[in-house]
Amino acid sequence: DQPWHKQPSKAPEEAPRSPKPPGKAAKSAVSLGKLPKEELPDFLKPQLAIEAFTPPTGANWIHELKLDGYRIQAHIDHGKVKLFTRRGLDWTHRMRPVATALAKLPVTTAILDGELCAVRPDGTTSFADLQASFEHGERRPLTYFVFDLLHLDGHNLRELPLLERKAIVEKLLTQLDHPQIQISQHLQGDANAIFQNACSLHAEGIVAKRGDAPHRATRSPEWLKLKCIRQQEFVVGGFTLPSNAIHGVGALLLGYYNDQKQLIYAGRTGTGFDAKTHAMLRDKLNALRQAKPAFQRVPSEAQKGVLWVKPELVAQVTFTTWTADNLIRQAAFQGLREDKPAEEVRREEPTVAPSAKQERGRMPMTQAAIKPTTQSSIAARVATKKKTTEDSAPVRLTHPDKILDAASHLTKQQLANYYWAIAPYMLPHITNRPLSLVRCPEGSGKPCFFQKHVNHTLPPGITGTPVPDKKTGKIEQYITLSTPEALAGLAQMGVLEVHPWGSQNDDLERPDRIVIDLDPDTAISWSTLCDAAADVRDRLKKLGLTSFLKTTGGKGLHVVIPIKPKHEYAAVKEWAHEFV
């Protein structure tokens, strides 16, 4: 099956058929006389998307396949075409066949916004293939997917709703009928179902856009990108040599810049290279060698055998997640980016997508603005695939739509689903221990309280463990749990924090972990806090102790030290005090 976007039916070298006269398509698509007049602008600052954790809700969103290529703004002026990167660099000479095709578009002047991609036989797009086409002259099917129209025949279209702009450009591209120039098609409907189904079909993700919004020349919450796999740019700050002595690299050391313009180490990647990439990277990196690292700090264990380089190259990398040590996991090299300066590379942080309630007060789209789009087979599969409930927590909730956190619009049902999803990772750290729970039954903005004792209001699966009161000697039942169902059931109680003891139920007086709690004053910067955590871990390592870093859920950090439960709390506390 072909995914979402149609496959080219002709070879890229074939000439398109003769276009219709300039301006004719535009007049048939919209009355341009009502739109503001303007001279053809210079390069326009593009609208960029914010990465989101969750798909948006509400009826005014459209959803496009997330493409893996170069953002290109095409300027057409009386048959002459210039192609600009998102930074405004003129790359017309690098993609001449696309410029030649766009020159035959039936317009006098126009500015198109889209993505240049290498399309694989299965219909997916590949940045690695695109780079191979540029760098090695390899034959790849390059396609320009158009998703916006910003200017047309002397008129400014940027205040029109996105759906209207897309409808106009789709008519133009239909008249052009060239295999290398395609419309970036979209779907409307349940965003979560579209996203999940796109991921199941091995797409990179989706971009959700407000169909009723004008063009915004900034990074806007009206465009949201949701990735099935995580991907972003990183700065190359060093490399190791390959073990087989070839002219190539073993691994790349990667980083990103923080707000203080410091290069932060983010881990390494040693996969994704082929023979040509090995040689190309080695040549480029050899020319950038320097004696000292550009990183603010690199863990000592990551410095072995590293050759440092000037931080000038930007690598596109896929990875699964960030670890607790703020390093990328299972990273794979995709290619070098030449359209983004190294100093602009930042760590991409997902946000929470808007909900329907946040959209109240907006004018609804007119029926005329909601125009049908023809989808290829993958779009139909994404739209019609049945939504499953396997990710929903199997627990009974009263008022599942109740908002527990106003800032993120987290509902009770979403909290239960979250606990259910992370149970395999969370349970090993809280099972068979007394727990203190922070309950916020009326939401995080209202008074919250601790609960540690068992009572009759607890949901099924939560049990008690006997703990003697040190003052009275009375045995009290403290909360404990051990199953995913019980963990998910905490949502019914409005539990937003779970605090486990440092010892287990069968040996309460002998802890099996020590926690160094770094709880900063508001004047302490995040970078200083991170340096403090790194210093603590280095000192522990010198003592032969392995430690792990975790966030506290607030603004601090915990350094957690697993130990064998051989000593009672008094002795462990004394050791911790002496260490501090």
Residues annotated catalytic, as ranges: 66
Instruction: Give first-to-last CA distance, the chain, whole Å.
Output: 61
Whose tokens are 């994704």? That residue is 272
Tokens of 110: 């126009």
Tokens of 58: 């509400």
Residues whose CB is less than 8 angstroms from the CB of residue 454 and which lie 6 or more positions away in sequence, other chains included: 462, 463, 464, 477, 478, 479
Q: Are 493 and 458 in contact (CB under 8 A)?
A: yes
Q: How far apart are CA 434 and CA 464, in angstroms?
A: 8
Task: Render 192-223 in DSSP notation, one character per residue.
Answer: HHHHHHHHHTT--EEEEEETT----SSEEEEE
For residue 257, the cross-strand partners are 263
Closest to 69 in 3D by CA, of 13, 17, 18, 125: 125
* Residues constituting the chain: 580
For residue 52, the cross-strand partners are 351
101, with CB counted inside 10 A (0-12, 13-18, 19+), is: buried
Q: Angle between the 275-286 and 127-136 helix axes, to the nearest 10 degrees?
A: 70
Task: Render 355-406 in DSSP notation, one character per residue.
Answer: PGGGGTTSPPPPGGG-------HHHHHHHHSPPP-TTS--S--SSTT-EEET
Residues whose CB is less than 8 angstroms from the CB of residue 282 and which lie 6 or more positions away in sequence, other chains included: 247, 248, 249
Q: How far apart are CA 67 and CA 183, in angstroms?
A: 12
Task: Render 324-362 in DSSP notation, one character per residue.
Answer: TTS-EES-EEEEEESSS-GGG------BPPPPGGGGTTS
Closest to 106 in 3D by CA, of 15, 164, 26: 26
Tokens of 428: 């090993």
Tokens of 9: 């039916």
Q: Are 392 and 419 in contact (CB under 8 A)?
A: no
Whose tokens are 């990465």? That residue is 51
- Maximum Cα interatomic distance, the chain, rounded to a whole number of Å: 94
Tokens of 287: 């020319």
Task: Render 472-486 in DSSP notation, one character per residue.
Answer: T--EEEEEE--SHHH
